[in-house]
Amino acid sequence: MFMEEVNEEHKKEILETANKVASGEYEVSWENNSVGIPKLLKKKTEIEKGKKAKKSGTDFELKVRKDLEEKGWTVSKWQNNVDMGSKKVVPAKRVFNPFRKVMTIGTGFPDFIAFQLIGEKTYNVIGVESKLNGLLSREEKEKCAFLLDSKVFNEIWISTKNDKGKVEYLNFKERFPKFT
């Protein structure tokens, strides 16, 4: 009965998708789709790559946090983001999966806020973004520039892994002078 209600074009799409999924190389994603046709087919090898990348990124964030704490910084997960449309700091949105509820909570930019006492009642407050390769997207650079211009942070550091696997910190102002 269901197949009779679906027009010929959709029948063809459904059969093509079913054949791809049956091959075992793809996984189905039904993101916001009311027609009954999978919105996205993801290769299983790409899904595995994504899982490994997410895990290594999370592990690196923990390594950065531990390193900063060992150097005398008080570190916390930053739970805000910058809305570039309104030019405001806003609470970061959580990432949801309709089947598993909340996927990630700490999606703020930058990853951490860290502060250190430098005088009797004076603190140095920095933002730290963890990037294994040390590269920021254009949007991330614009967000960093906004946070510095708005004096939310004194500095923003980009933590990266050097050749020996140790954490290295790059100052955003020094690394990207044209954005400041």
Instruction: Read off the pLDDT of residues 129-180 as tens digits, 9 standing for 90 and up.
Output: 999 888 999 999 999 999 999 999 999 999 999 888 899 999 999 999 887 6
- Are 101 and 13 members of one domain? no
Q: How far apart, in Å, are the Cα atoms of 36 and each of 60, 64, 100?
A: 39, 44, 20
Q: Does some domain include residue 45?
A: no
Domain match, 103 and 166 both: yes
Length of the chain: 180
Residue 23, pLDDT > 80, answer no
Please tell me whether residues 134 and 72 are part of one structural domain.
yes
For 86-144, the pLDDT digits (tens) are: 999 998 887 666 666 555 556 789 999 999 999 898 999 999 999 988 899 999 999 99
Structurally, the chain folds into a number of domains equal to 2
pTM, 2 dp: 0.71
